[in-house]
Structure 1
Amino acid sequence: MPKVRCRNLCAGGTAAPPGSRQPPQPRFRVRCSPTHRLCRAVCMVEPRGAGDVQGSGTAPQPQRCAPGSCWAQITAFGTPGSCSALRTPLSLCPALPFVPVPLPAVPAQVALLELLCTPLRSLAMAAGFFISKSVGIVGIVLALGAVATIIALSVVYAQEKNKSSGGSGSTDTTTTAASTTTAPNNPWNRWRLPAALKPESYEVTLQPFLTPDANNVYIFRGNSSVVFICEEATDLILIHSNKLNYTLQGGFHASLHAVDGPAPPAISNTWLQTDTQYLVVQLAGPLQQGQSYRLFSSFTGELADDLAGFYRSEYTEGNVTKVVATTQMQAPDARKAFPCFDEPAMKAVFTVTMIHPSDHTAISNMPANNTYQLEMDGQSWNVTQFNPTPKMSTYLLAFIVSQFDYVENNTGGVQIRIWGRPTAIDEGQGEYALQKTGPILSFFERHYNTAYPLPKSDQVALPDFNAGAMENWGLVTYRENSLLYDNAYSSIGNKERVVTVIAHELAHQWFGNLVTLRWWNDLWLNEGFASYVEYLGADSAEPTWNIKDLMVLNELYTVMATDALTTSHPLTFREDEINTPAQISEVFDSIAYSKGASVLRMLSDFLTEDVFKEGLQSYLHTFAYGNTVYTDLWEHLQEAVNKNNVPLPDTISAIMDRWTLQMGFPVVTVNTLTGSVRQSHFLLDSNSTVERPSVFNYAWIVPITWMTPSRTGDRYWLVDVSDTNSNFSVGSSTWLLLNLNVSGYFRVNYNQENWDQLLQQLSNNHQVIPVINRAQIIDDAFNLARAQQVDVTLALNTTRFLSGETEYMPWQAALNNLQYFQLMFDRSEVFGPMTKYIQKQVTPLFEHYRTVTNNWTTIPVNLMDQYSEINAISTACSYGIAECQQLATTLFQQWKQNVSNNPITPNLRSAIYCSAVATGGEEVWDFIWERFLEAPVVSEADKLRTALTCSTETWILQRYLQYTIDPTKIRRQDATSTINSIARNVVGQPLAWDFIRGNWKTLFGQYGGGSFSFSQLISAVTQRFNTEFELQQLEQFKADNQDIGFGSGTRALEQALERTRTNINWVKENKEVVHAWFRAETASS
């Protein structure tokens, strides 16, 4: 291995005027010998304002570096320059590509000699390690690009500094779009990129400023160099750009260079097409097919608090506000950080460099490979360079600049770090996540039969984050409540959330990141799959919880309420249906996540998990680092089916297309007297009309598992709309149960005789029926009653056995469905007897857990038992059981008397806090508000923030609503969920609705364009609507705001209208019957 070293070879600078105390003012040009390219290059210094003639003015005569040496020359703030050379074999030099490094006529800001010496040293070392010359040269090219990037960034800094200090002269920074034609056929007026160009690599350098400028605006500066290959000859470059201001280069927004080929055509025009979010570059001639080019640009952007793109988050520590620069690129917001081909199929390699305050740390998808200091305008900065990423999509890129701390360990050679606020990390809030991340990663490596693709896994808890978490490759970001856990403050629900969200995001590291959807119309495959296997990953980390059972309640039954509407949609859209950012954001809904998870669970069940995994592993191995459509998965699963001779009634594609290409699901109706079985499209409003056509005529191929008291039968496939199965003809003296463990995504209805037998079994000995199916009987019956396919009294009868039930899942299914009754009737006379009935049913559960927990002083061992205890307390208190409310008052008063010693166990705090606020007045509310402001753990803050919505005082709730649009009181990430909680309060619902209408423009501006939570806001404030007056208000709201629009809430608004009409009809049909049933059930109490 040859020796290599950097040494000074020449120095120079302008002479200062006689008697002047000012430093020299050099202007530098990096010159390369045309013959030897980078080798034997000339180190030249010339004065500001002098011409470009080599050696002109008062500069010293050019001096040649030693033959056989490569060098770079930059200086800082007028100090004499030096030429740093690297001894390297001359034979390598002729092969080095010429990469121009343009230096504008301003003082360079940083000394970057080491930046070239390091890769050049690596190149020389390559000879000793037998690394190919081409690989070494690539390293130099990337380094030179980084030099150009950082130099240009320093230029932008100087220009902006001069502008802000009142310097004269013209500016070369663009702020508005050029006037262009709006013909819809122009490529820049379409939302999708043309296929002519394909990116290969990016070099991105960014410098966030973590203090506001003179205009009180936080900004970042940066530049980007993207290498792309021309797939089809074109004279147009379209690249995504949103809310970036560019530094003009020769009058244009960008510069274009060829990579190892003839010079590119000249740029004839550039402009920003803001409506479709493009930087448009028109050329004087066509790019050559098969040729690679490099597009370079310099820009500034706002480091806003909008939770999208490159944004800022803030927190307070020691009464000092700290600022974090962080990212959220999914789905269409990488373009807010740097110009890029911002579509998931446009995968490329990213090399990121961050310039940041020296007392901050920068992290990105890949490990850092170099960090060094520089001085700029009297401030100390660090430059952190990261290894190139694997080939990946833009939406997975991430970088964070913060003063966070971390805890770490190493699993299977993978570095795992949990990052967060220093106080939170010091208090051990990252330890639980650290304990579980390694085992979950190991589980998925086995599940996918594929090693984790990266050398490290950073997971970061952010104070401000709109989604629950984001699966950026190697740098996963979370809301604090999804990653941090403190046993003294966090409930079992908080703990479950942490482990399931971690499992969800780590599942994506393979399924979504390694293999990625081609376009957002197939989003369900990414999110549905992760939402399914998150339960498997969490189960591997917490095997005693039986957490996989919760998927039925959390995913399947939750999404069925939406999928039973005519305004639902299929899992897979046509590609041309999803174009705009708002349309993309709108597909991030419960259909994609929860229905996707449910149908994949069904698929795994009828294939068996081993066959499902075999097909999945083949799929991942085949398409690693590439993009797919959903049919690619079907093909690989079919290969596994064929290999293992799995008996199916049709191909995987034929079966599953019916579940993915048409919306909704079937209700399977069986007659146990005849054995007849039939299916039909289940709709909550049976009188509604389905306008979306289906080539399958809303019929499915349905896998049906079943049991009787004496046997469990083989899976039966319902292939046609109707059929007869002799096994289902069991007569009227016993019962038949379909869809064991609710493995299938459908509902079940029976003839009345079978319903009676099932109800009798629940009354006599409910444990004969599996616990999940006890929940199923309740949930199916209530939803069939809402669709008027069974009497509402049958549904209510399924709750009678609950007075003897202590398991969580049946109780939770009942409470979920009784909540609908509460929403429909808590403003009517029905609610009185309904309250008495629920009190009667929940009292035995309350007394059971009072005994089990030794009068609420201990915690049940099992997850499900802990959830049951929470249900007992929250239901008893919210429905006015005196003993529960007295318990809440006593515990709350003890806490008030000694704020530093909270006697309420974390599991019960949400219920106790809410009860205290509901029965208290302004004093209690203010006490909870103060505790919220000072809460040391975000999970505790969430409990307090939600409890504040339980007030029954109109003026307090009205004030609280105003707080939601003041980010100094309620964080932007929490605003919509706070409004939703107020709307769930019967007193708060009309206030929230009025607030939404009165502040629609503000709310839409902050959340509507691309917020995942925005659709939930519309659903929450309208969920009680069941009168013609409210329907008219909703229709008027839609009409009044057509000019503003509804963004990602457009479909949610249509669903709210449909639900309201359905609610009106259902209440008219059932109110008196329900009222009579509750009165009869409580007549003797």
Structure 2
Amino acid sequence: MAAGFYISRVLAIVGALVSVGALASIIALSVLYAQEKTKNHDPSPTAHTTTTPSPGPLEPWQRYRLPDTLAPVFYNITLWPRLEPDQQGLFIFTGNSTVQFVCVKDTDLILIHANKLNFTLFQGHKAQVLALGGAPPAPAVRDSWVEVGTEYLVVQLEGILEAGRSYLLHTEFVGELADDLGGFYRSKYKENGQEKILATTQMQPTNARKAFPCFDEPAMKAVFHLTLIHPFETVALSNAINYDPVNVTIKRQTLKETRFQPTEKMSTYLLAFVVCEFAYIRSTPDSPVLIRIWARKQAIEEGQGKYALEKTGPILNYFQNYYSSPYPLKKSDQIALPDFSAGAMENWGLITYRETALLYDPAFSSNADKEFVATVISHELAHMWFGNLVTMRWWNDLWLNEGFATYVSYLGADSAEPTWNIKDLLVVNEVHEVMGVDALSTSHPLSSKEDDIQDPNQIGRLFDSITYSKGAAILRMLSDCITEGVFTEGLRTYLDTFKYNSTVYTDLWKQLQVAVDKASPGLGLPTSVEGIMNPWVLQMGFPVITVDTRTGHISQQHFLLDPEAEVDKPSPFNYEWIVPISWMKTGIIKNPLWLTTKEATNTNMTIGSADWLLVNLKTSGFYRVNYDQENWERLLAKLDNNHQEIPEINRAQLISDAFNLARAKLVNTTLALRTTRFLVRERAYTPWLTASRNLNYYFLMFDRSPVYGPMQAYMVKQVEPLFNHFKDITANWTKIPEKHTDQYNQVMAIRLACQNGLKACEDLTYNWFNAWMKNSSNNPISPNLRSTVYCSGIATGGQREWDFAWNMYKNASVASEAEKLLSAMACSRQPWILIRYLEYCLDPKRIRKQDASTVINYVAENALGQPLAWDFVRANWDYLFNDYGKGSISFYSVLHGVTRRFATEFEFKELLRFQEELGSNAMGLDFQQVLEQTRANIKWVSSHKDQILSWFTEEASKPKAQLYSH
């Protein structure tokens, strides 16, 4: 009550100052917009459009970071999005904002972020300033302008704002409700044949300033009071619960005005609001937290939100127990958006998702779709505490938010689906995958200096697999080292100490250290938590641990896929790490060790001739392992003779380590290939997945060479027993395997068998696809198998099959089904069809903007489509990345996707030529990673092609009975 009364008094003061009501201001802003509708930045004579700061000392508005002179307390924002175009065909929103801030240091300058907003003038200026608390009044505005390059509204004053006093800044503005998927934007969909428009947001990382002027840095937390004016038939949602809407009439138009309760103190990037005609399902009235799942009316009517509703409550409860902290809000809205650039966004109290990340329909969705929904919900709910309640101070520590949420998302999903064994999937999906990136010389540390991350482009590039997956991997490693109980105890004190505030990553280390000290001396750590973790956080890469089982000698070195690559980034730890060594000897787990120096000797790790030694149990450590040749031979023999004596996740690890050590020239390539021989008897999923992914590199390098035939022949021999196994246990493909990972492995068996030309598989999948074409209303294909079957059917067929799939895609009402078809249509073997498909990516009426880069990459995965995709991207670069919408296209994803097969000097020169054409738009690091990968491919193919051809030719020619003899 007190807070509401105080806000009301402040607004009364503001109302007297501006002398117009909010609704009248909005109408006036509409008139203003008619004069400035075609301009992307402020057109007044005082607008500053310089994007490159001038030489010499920088003015405050030429720096990307806010000065430390002002601190926001609360915002009062009113916005009115137009869901219909104006006479010029443009969608707009109008609004006004009042922000109260405290002056921390005396200053005559107000800097507040604003981007692509046009401001109403008050006595010739773009803002009004009011002092709170009586005399003296606020100084008058001397000058104001929009600094486009650094995205500020700059307000220079005649006098000084005094430290310790509170002030108000009032602005009124117009913005475009564009379809660029960033800030306050519009999305569209069809319902009952009618096109619908909704308004929604994506503020992270620096797009809140596109919706209203704000202090748009994560540490600048404040309370938000929001009012939305919206069409009568729509509903308005935001972070907080709304008060009852009231009807208002503006220019003879009946509208709704929805006010929301004040938010908790939070960062601007977590603010969200949506105006739509969606429906919802909700938790029971007696639930302690109101949970609602919002989506298109048809999706809700078809029950696509039921699984999300079923799992949100248990996952939320899990995290409340995990953090020992109640969920701090009254409600948790989750909404599935037709157009959304990310997978999901953790807005506090209103989580936004792509449809594929929230909606599930068992008639159309696979078990992989189901897992995706569960883990994404878990990831976003984990953020409600770690990221939202406690937030990183600046984006250089983004890894702490995202790495942590990625790690515990598997724990939350495991609590909701305990039979899935999903924790092991973290290893193959996060740890193994990100090692491929972190083993490049162009990788980067998890945490950078704040000064090195300044502008929005630098911030945007941090949203990568290093931040998410490596962050998860090292936090998982730390939890394993200090035990989960100690780890969670440290988390709880961290969250309690810093709630509603911002931190740096060392604050977490300190709280974990307190928990460790309470548990000591049983943990036996070689040094402090910070001492252990800083080498993993402050330097890029990871080590390969080499163990000589003849002497017990252990050593570490920085692992690089290309050992000849130059590492020009200095390391504060000389590329050494403090490494936890978990190990077993001949199946018996031994006490863990620590490698704290470059090398050491431990005679306990010597073994006899009948023994074998395995390091990095459960792949809990973020490193690769190499052995002396004798131990490698014993491990290979164990795999061939009794592979189940080695734990499943370590069987996958052995494959992953061997293939990557071979690429780095630390072991022979044939040793890596020999780790796949035992797969003829393997029925577990993670070893097959790991082998498939690693062999996929061989296919990428050689699917246009003579190696391809023998490689396919070998793969058919290996996968045929797995294919027949699933045929048998599913009663000739009529049942679904019971285990979650067995369902995945059934898909793996069919995919590999069909890709490599197993006739029984090709006939099976084509017959399924053809049966569907004959009766499109009755799809006989199991949802788990659809991606694979659709791809095989389209690849085997021609235009008729492709056009059928396109028609089914256009009419798909379930997002996951549409996604399967998008992928499958790239499997065509008709070049003209693939070219036409790529051209569809330039037309958002055919391919949504959010899916354009995905489709380009799908086509590039096809050996026939890769050069077509490369030519298409180069020919349409300017349009895709400048005009099409930066929020919808991933530069690195597309560039990496279309160049994955590059392995010749000619292709490398083409890449250099393209970089030269792009000039400064090549974006430095991203392009360098692609160049480095291409160089490594050239070297690897040149030095290994003959050896690999010989091995596959020999193995493929062996009778099956001899294939695994020693």
User: Do both proteins adopt the same fold according to a TM-score greater than 0.5, normalized to the shorter chain?
Assistant: yes
Is the 8 Å Cα contact of residues 587 and 645 (structure 2) preserved in structure 1?
no
Q: Deviations over 1:16-39 (max 9, x none)?
A: xxxxxxxxxxxxxxxxxxxxxxxx
Separation in structure 2 between the aligned mates of residue 144 and residue 429 of structure 1, nearest angstrom:
48
CA spacing shift, 1:544–1:149, aligned 2, 3 Å: farther
Aligned-pair CA distance for 1:918: 0.6
Separation in structure 2 between the aligned mates of residue 149 and residue 553 of structure 1, nearest angstrom:
59
Separation in structure 2 between the aligned mates of residue 890 and residue 149 of structure 1, nearest angstrom:
72
Match of 2:964 in 1: none
- Counterpart among 105, 109, 113 of residue 232 in structure 1: 105
Confirm whether residue 305 of structure 1 aligns to residue 179 of structure 2: yes
Is the 8 Å Cα contact of residues 334 and 342 (structure 1) preserved in structure 2?
yes
Aligned-pair CA distance for 1:717: 0.2
3-state DSSP of counterpart to 2:845: coil
Aligned-pair CA distance for 1:617: 0.3
Is the 8 Å Cα contact of residues 806 and 821 (structure 2) preserved in structure 1?
yes
Aligned-pair CA distance for 1:140: 4.0
Aligned-pair CA distance for 1:1002: 1.3
Aligned-pair CA distance for 1:581: 0.6
Tell me which stretches of 4 or more aligned residues in structure 1 moved more than 4 Å.
Answer: 142-153, 160-167, 179-182, 1006-1012
CA spacing shift, 1:178–1:923, aligned 2, 3 Å: same
Match of 1:1035 in 2: 912
3-state DSSP of counterpart to 2:957: coil
Is the 8 Å Cα contact of residues 1008 and 1014 (structure 1) preserved in structure 2?
no
Separation in structure 1 between the aligned mates of residue 578 and residue 545 of structure 2, nearest angstrom:
11
3-state DSSP of counterpart to 1:883: helix
Is the 8 Å Cα contact of residues 180 and 888 (structure 2) preserved in structure 1?
no
Aligned-pair CA distance for 1:596: 0.1
Superposition pairs of residues 723-802 of structure 1, within 5 angstroms: 723-802=600-679
Read off the aligned partner of 1:188 and give its amino acid letter.
Answer: W
Match of 2:837 in 1: 960
- Counterpart among 686, 696, 710 of residue 819 in structure 1: 696
CA spacing shift, 1:689–1:481, aligned 2, 3 Å: same
Confirm whether residue 935 of structure 1 aligns to residue 812 of structure 2: yes
Confirm whether residue 202 of structure 1 aligns to residue 75 of structure 2: yes
Separation in structure 1 between the aligned mates of residue 324 and residue 12 of structure 2, nearest angstrom:
36
Is the 8 Å Cα contact of residues 589 and 1012 (structure 1) preserved in structure 2?
no
Is the 8 Å Cα contact of residues 29 and 120 (structure 2) preserved in structure 1?
no
Match of 1:248 in 2: 121
Match of 1:570 in 2: 445
CA spacing shift, 1:342–1:146, aligned 2, 3 Å: farther
CA spacing shift, 1:161–1:1052, aligned 2, 3 Å: closer
3-state DSSP of counterpart to 1:1059: helix
Confirm whether residue 159 of structure 1 aligns to residue 28 of structure 2: yes
Confirm whether residue 211 of structure 1 aligns to residue 79 of structure 2: no
Is the 8 Å Cα contact of residues 732 and 754 (structure 1) preserved in structure 2?
no
Is the 8 Å Cα contact of residues 585 and 1011 (structure 1) preserved in structure 2?
no
Higher relative contact order (CA 8 A, sep 6+): 2
Aligned-pair CA distance for 1:878: 1.3
Is the 8 Å Cα contact of residues 1008 and 1046 (structure 1) preserved in structure 2?
no
Separation in structure 2 between the aligned mates of residue 592 and residue 498 of structure 1, nearest angstrom:
21
Confirm whether residue 362 of structure 1 aligns to residue 236 of structure 2: yes
3-state DSSP of counterpart to 1:616: helix
Separation in structure 1 between the aligned mates of residue 21 and residue 792 of structure 2, nearest angstrom:
60
Match of 1:11 in 2: none
3-state DSSP of counterpart to 1:216: coil
Is the 8 Å Cα contact of residues 543 and 557 (structure 2) preserved in structure 1?
yes
Aligned-pair CA distance for 1:178: 2.4
Aligned-pair CA distance for 1:732: 3.4
CA spacing shift, 1:153–1:177, aligned 2, 3 Å: farther
Q: Deviations over 1:1031-1085 (max 9, x none)?
A: 1011111111115x145xx422110000000110011110000000000001135
Is the 8 Å Cα contact of residues 177 and 272 (structure 1) preserved in structure 2?
no
Confirm whether residue 803 of structure 1 aligns to residue 680 of structure 2: yes
Is the 8 Å Cα contact of residues 720 and 753 (structure 2) preserved in structure 1?
yes
Match of 1:879 in 2: 756
- Counterpart among 272, 275, 280 of residue 401 in structure 1: 275
Match of 1:49 in 2: none
Is the 8 Å Cα contact of residues 881 and 889 (structure 2) preserved in structure 1?
no
Read off the aligned partner of 1:811 and give its amino acid letter.
Answer: W
Is the 8 Å Cα contact of residues 129 and 170 (structure 2) preserved in structure 1?
yes
TM-score w.r.t. structure 1 length? 0.86
Aligned-pair CA distance for 1:465: 0.1
Confirm whether residue 694 of structure 1 aligns to residue 571 of structure 2: yes
Is the 8 Å Cα contact of residues 581 and 1009 (structure 1) preserved in structure 2?
no
Separation in structure 2 between the aligned mates of residue 795 and residue 969 of structure 1, nearest angstrom:
44
Separation in structure 2 between the aligned mates of residue 901 and residue 179 of structure 1, nearest angstrom:
61
Aligned-pair CA distance for 1:718: 0.5
Match of 1:1022 in 2: 899
Is the 8 Å Cα contact of residues 406 and 417 (structure 1) preserved in structure 2?
yes
Superposition pairs of residues 982-1061 of structure 1, within 5 angstroms: 982-1006=859-883, 1013-1043=890-920, 1045-1047=921-923, 1050-1061=924-935
- Counterpart among 791, 794, 798 of residue 917 in structure 1: 794
Confirm whether residue 377 of structure 1 aligns to residue 254 of structure 2: no
Aligned-pair CA distance for 1:1009: 5.0
Superposition pairs of residues 47-58 of structure 1, within 5 angstroms: none
Aligned-pair CA distance for 1:547: 0.4
- Unaligned regions of 5+ residues in structure 2, if any? 960-966
- Counterpart among 426, 430, 453 of residue 301 in structure 2: 426
Separation in structure 2 between the aligned mates of residue 1022 and residue 590 of structure 1, nearest angstrom:
18
Confirm whether residue 622 of structure 1 aligns to residue 497 of structure 2: yes
Match of 2:782 in 1: 905
3-state DSSP of counterpart to 1:570: coil
Match of 1:709 in 2: 586
Aligned-pair CA distance for 1:999: 1.1
3-state DSSP of counterpart to 2:868: helix
3-state DSSP of counterpart to 1:757: helix
Separation in structure 2 between the aligned mates of residue 156 and residue 400 of structure 1, nearest angstrom:
22
CA RMSD across the alignment: 1.8
3-state DSSP of counterpart to 2:589: coil
User: Percent sequence identity over matched residues?
Assistant: 54
CA spacing shift, 1:163–1:787, aligned 2, 3 Å: closer
Separation in structure 2 between the aligned mates of residue 1073 and residue 925 of structure 1, nearest angstrom:
39
Aligned-pair CA distance for 1:1007: 6.9
Is the 8 Å Cα contact of residues 777 and 798 (structure 1) preserved in structure 2?
yes
Is the 8 Å Cα contact of residues 587 and 646 (structure 2) preserved in structure 1?
no
Separation in structure 2 between the aligned mates of residue 266 and residue 552 of structure 1, nearest angstrom:
60
3-state DSSP of counterpart to 2:434: helix
Read off the aligned partner of 1:403 and give its amino acid letter.
Answer: E
- Counterpart among 662, 677, 683 of residue 554 in structure 2: 677
Q: How many residues were matched structurally?
A: 947
Aligned-pair CA distance for 1:953: 0.9
Separation in structure 2 between the aligned mates of residue 179 and residue 845 of structure 1, nearest angstrom:
67
- Counterpart among 321, 335, 357 of residue 209 in structure 2: 335
Read off the aligned partner of 1:575 and give its amino acid letter.
Answer: E
Separation in structure 2 between the aligned mates of residue 1004 and residue 924 of structure 1, nearest angstrom:
32
Confirm whether residue 612 of structure 1 aligns to residue 480 of structure 2: no
Is the 8 Å Cα contact of residues 200 and 227 (structure 1) preserved in structure 2?
yes
- Counterpart among 124, 130, 141 of residue 10 in structure 2: 141
Match of 1:83 in 2: none
- Counterpart among 521, 527, 541 of residue 402 in structure 2: 527
Read off the aligned partner of 2:893 and give its amino acid letter.
Answer: Q
Read off the aligned partner of 1:876 and give its amino acid letter.
Answer: A
Is the 8 Å Cα contact of residues 504 and 531 (structure 1) preserved in structure 2?
yes
Match of 1:18 in 2: none
CA spacing shift, 1:142–1:512, aligned 2, 3 Å: farther
Q: Deviations over 1:895-922 (max 9, x none)?
A: 1111100000000000110001111111
Read off the aligned partner of 2:434 and give its amino acid letter.
Answer: V
Match of 1:322 in 2: 196
Separation in structure 1 between the aligned mates of residue 16 and residue 724 of structure 2, nearest angstrom:
71
Match of 2:62 in 1: 189
Confirm whether residue 389 of structure 1 aligns to residue 257 of structure 2: no
- Counterpart among 323, 339, 343 of residue 448 in structure 1: 323
Aligned-pair CA distance for 1:150: 12
Match of 1:856 in 2: 733
- Counterpart among 267, 275, 280 of residue 154 in structure 2: 280
- Unaligned regions of 5+ residues in structure 1, if any? 1-130
Read off the aligned partner of 1:201 and give its amino acid letter.
Answer: F
Confirm whether residue 463 of structure 1 aligns to residue 331 of structure 2: no
Is the 8 Å Cα contact of residues 341 and 887 (structure 2) preserved in structure 1?
no
Read off the aligned partner of 2:518 and give its amino acid letter.
Answer: K
